[in-house]
Structure 1
């Protein structure tokens, strides 16, 4: 699959964002969080225009490259010609979040088995692991309204999410946001780990819950753990891991 390079067509800032977003797609695939072609990761481009990068619909996540990512406006109209289609219905959730959250550069959404399983549980995320305490410090829920393709759902989703970092879409999956792509990825790593641990723990005996006071103080603990850098702390190591396997995402 030959895709013309956009490296000399777009700004250096946009190219770096394209490389980071393509890397994020590859990492999501590598960690087993993809659902064939049926979820999206979007990134807002710098500037006042509200332009975004999103995946070409129909490509597997491990096929995504910097040049194949499609630039769209807030209505998911293509701004640079591409031979690939975009999925406006899939962008509904992303556009809703980006419109309400100026602090967010990246929105990452998954349909993993563990994530969907916990999203179907009435109690949602339980405070039973260190990972869950990070999630519970900034978690919101949005009830399932069917396949998310209707614009009238946007205000309800925006109201439910508020200023949270983690959003559990009931009976649907997981969503994280970040001021950088690295932040959104690290948050999803913690969210997915939380759900996998919970499903595994529930298969055993009686659960021990974390003291609520510990949950209340966890935001500061997370800052200490990453030196206040958030996802940027771990991102270079993730890029090195990816580069050891395949550097084609940078094309």
Structure 2
């Protein structure tokens, strides 16, 4: 991976829409930590740079999610050139996964990858995610699965990642975790939140030992249809804006 060292990004250095993308992404990192989905300095979330479809913003490899600031984020191009990394570098597996998905799907502007315990547990379940609650049903028709092939640095896995994701929005990674994608930061967070809640409910339900109650397929289809109609292009915006206000009350430094 090629790197180009520059000073830390500042709001005066860039267009308004890139700075806005940085602030939202930094907020998403803080929220990921707040909800317990982070894993030390590992895992990664990216956002495509507005006006630069060949570039995305991602975390420098070494900064904790709960300390992420807009100016900390590294801009990475599809050829591997990293700008503004502040001496940390970029995680190789993070670059590989995110560059593959962004390149394959022009409609994707945000990619989340994490290994929360319950999500990883459900990814390992032979049946994967089950429609045991409303949160599971919301995205039930846009979930796919990818078999584990080792740490994501091998280019031979590129085509299988692209094929397995297809046009879906959630890809459960067997023996690993998940990749959640979306057209916006709020939409991606919305899917990640509902998935994590659904996986928690599934793990708790199956732990009871009894055969779980499952709704009829017609009910699942009805929930999917209703959710699709109600969500629209602003999926997740109301709750994400509310959560940004919460972050502002707790610690607004993510905006720096």
Deviation readout 1:172-203 (Å, 9 max, x if unpaired)? 00111010011111100011111111000011
Aligned to 1:145: 149
Deviation readout 1:201-220 (Å, 9 max, x if unpaired)? 01112200121112223333
Aligned to 1:156: 160
Aligned to 1:248: 253
Aligned to 2:238: 233
CA distance in 1, matches of 2:116, 2:96: 19
Cα offset for 1:167? Answer: 0.7
Structure 1 residues not aligned, in runs of 5+: none
Aligned to 2:134: 130
Secondary structure of the 1:51 match is: strand
The answer to whether structure 1 residue 15 and structure 2 residue 19 are counterparts is yes
Structure 2 residues not aligned, in runs of 5+: 1-6
Aligned to 1:209: 214
Cα offset for 1:135? Answer: 2.7
Cα offset for 1:110? Answer: 0.7
Q: Which of the pair is proportionally richer in strand?
A: 2
TM-score (norm 2): 0.92
Aligned to 1:189: 193
2:115 to 111, 114, 124: 111
The answer to whether structure 1 residue 219 and structure 2 residue 224 are counterparts is yes
| 8 Å Cα contact 1:76-1:86 kept in structure 2 | no
Aligned to 1:41: 45
* Matched residue count: 249
CA distance in 2, matches of 1:123, 1:64: 36
CA distance in 1, matches of 2:36, 2:89: 24
Stretches of 4+ aligned residues off by more than 6 angstroms: none
Deviation readout 1:83-105 (Å, 9 max, x if unpaired)? 32111222211111111111110
Deviation readout 1:95-152 (Å, 9 max, x if unpaired)? 1111111111000011011011111111101111111111312110011001111111
| 8 Å Cα contact 1:75-1:88 kept in structure 2 | no
